[in-house]
Chains A and B, each alone.
Chain A
């Protein structure tokens, strides 16, 4: 049950777009479309921003979008805002009925 691989950090200026990748193996999520993304501000509980690869829950800004190609899922945040500065985690169902998070990516808005 190894963690999915994410970059430790990404950064961008207000108004720019950034993409966070999440890489696994074919046994992780290569065959499934159950990738979700969770935002966590310091000292706070996580919050879902994307589910089932590319779906946004109600109330989440349309600046957040998700995609997947093969064994890599991606979260894109467009029109960066200061409030987007947070840690982001991908999460996926894997084979053998287990679930796994990515290691997390710290987003800094410059």
Chain B
């Protein structure tokens, strides 16, 4: 049983939008902070966004502020990342992770987003 499964990735043109989903199972989703992290091809990990258990606090890396929105639906055990105004530099594998406010400790397998210019 895989606790976190991402979906929604794919190929999109520059300026377009995508919505990533992360389905959680096997743990009490509503009690964890959730995080999105991305990894461009051949590059390192980059923190993208965090959201508190009840969705009342959200935080973003500067490069996605105003373009990406993290949200969650605790009744559906799901995490989301709405990505608008996509750029070529947003091309990456996007991972969701559960954890504390300060540390992700359970990672999904990732979903690939490719932005064509």
Contacts and interface: CB of A to CB of B under 8 A. Distances in A.
A89 interface: yes
Interface stretch (B15-23, B40-48, B70-78, B80-88): B40-48
A51 B97 CA distance: 14
Interface of A: 1, 3, 32, 34, 36, 38, 40, 45-48, 51-52, 57, 87, 89, 91, 93, 97-104
Count class of interface residues, chain B: 20 to 34
B95 A34 contact: no
A contacts with B: majority SS: strand
Contacts, number: 62
Interface string B102-115: 11111111100000
A48 B105 contact: yes
B1 interface: no
Contact of B44 (A45, A52, A104): A104
A1 B108 CA distance: 24
Interface in B7-33: none
A45 B3 CA distance: 13
B44 A98 contact: no
A34 B103 contact: yes
Q: Which of B44, B50, B101 has the most CB of A within 10 A?
A: B44
B105 A101 contact: no
B107 A99 contact: no
Contact of B107 (A34, A45, A97, A102): A45
A14 to B, nearest CB: 26
A98 B61 contact: yes
Question: A-B pairs with the 5 shortest C-beta distances?
Answer: A34-B102, A104-B44, A45-B107, A48-B105, A99-B47
Contact of B103 (A1, A40, A91, A104): A91
A53 B61 CA distance: 23
B47 A100 contact: yes
